[in-house]
Amino acid sequence: MHITITGNLGSGKSTVCKILRDQHGFEIYSTGTVQRELAREMNITTLEMNRLMCSDPKYDNMIDDATARISRENRHKNIIFDSRLAWHFVEQSFKVFLSVSLDVAAERVMNDNRGKEEKYTSLEEAKKLLAARAETEDKRYKELYGLDYFNFSNYNLVIDSTCTTPDNIAVVILEEAKKFDEAMKKREVFEPGNQGINTILLSPQILYPGEITKEDIEHTAGLVKLRQENPEKRKQEILVKKIKNELNIIEGKENVIAAIIAKEPFVPVILK
């Protein structure tokens, strides 16, 4: 089984990969490590490294070629590719995107020891530089490969790490990957032009960041109880539309509020 994991900066990709390695025997291939090492050797920040890569594709080509080669030569192994674009270069994989809110991502990188090339003096600086780096990478991927990196339809599983633990994320990824692997064996996926399974699990707090009122609690009391007693009710998908990078609930607001009250880590959504 090959799993490719990418996502927002600070979403916890590397931590989740280590859990899958330590608890389930996967090998890890990380291109983020290669990129940070290159930045360190050149005595520049990772943001500066990304800008340099915009004008010199040899670094991208080096990483891409290595990723494709490893996937071809090790199809018999269970491997996790902790890589921005492995989902595009690995021929057959379960494609995972980890999302996270910018506020939580900034807090994580502030508390994480990533070397002098990723040092931040404040939370606001971390948010600003993380957003700038994501914008730079998105632009570069479109120019070099014609890829829309943040288009969730590219992935088999999108899962939000804002309000849950890496252990919970790892459990869901492995469960969904096994389902995907069974479908692959039955030739239900990997048909030309078919992405196969596409599941989006987002934190309800991301969808409804406002304050939960007394009226909300009273109005959804029955639904909360129903969701707690019947886990199948938690699978009811919520219709969401992205407007100017903001997620707006089109249908299912009551389910989102009920999920927040019931302390559910994420809810399944459909992006319109």
Q: What Cα–Cα distance (Å) separates residue 100 from each residue in 149, 161, 202, 206, 217?
A: 15, 5, 9, 9, 26
Q: Which two tokens stand for residue 20?
A: 């899958």
Strand arrangement of the beta sheet that strand 79-82 belongs to: 27-30, 79-82, 2-7, 94-99, 157-160, 199-202, 267-271, 238-243, 246-251
Residue 156 φ then ψ, to 5°: -80, -30
- How far is it, in rounded angstroms, from Cα 134 to Cα 97? 14
**Percentage, residues of the chain above pLDDT 90:** 37
* DSSP structure string for 68-132: HHHHHHTTTS-EEEE-SSHHHHSSS-EEEEEE--HHHHHHHHHHS---GGG--SSHHHHHHHHHH
Written as one letter, the residue type at 236 is Q
Which residue is it, tokens 């998105």? 138
113 has a pLDDT exceeding 80:
no
189 has a pLDDT exceeding 70:
no
What integer is the mean pLDDT of 227-231? 85
Per-residue pLDDT at 23: 94
**Of 107, 103, 110, whose CA–CA distance to 209 is shortest?**
103
**Of 144, 155, 190, 127, whose CA–CA distance to 6 is shortest?**
155
115 has a pLDDT exceeding 70:
no
Q: What Cα–Cα distance (Å) separates residue 78 from each residue in 71, 178, 226?
A: 10, 12, 38
Per-residue pLDDT at 192: 40
What integer is the mean pLDDT of 161-177? 93
- How far is it, in rounded angstroms, from Cα 70 to Cα 90? 9
- Straight-line distance from the first to the last Cα atom of the chain, in angstroms, rounded to the nearest whole number: 31
Domains plus CATH for the chain? 2-150+162-194 (3.40.50.300), 204-271 (3.90.1530)
Cβ pair 1, 39 in contact under 8 A: no
pLDDT digits (tens, 9 = 90+) for 173-187: 999 999 888 887 776
Residue 126 — pLDDT band, cuts 50, 70, 90? confident
- How far is it, in rounded angstroms, from Cα 6 to Cα 16? 11
pTM for the predicted model, two decimal places? 0.84
What integer is the mean pLDDT of 71-79? 90
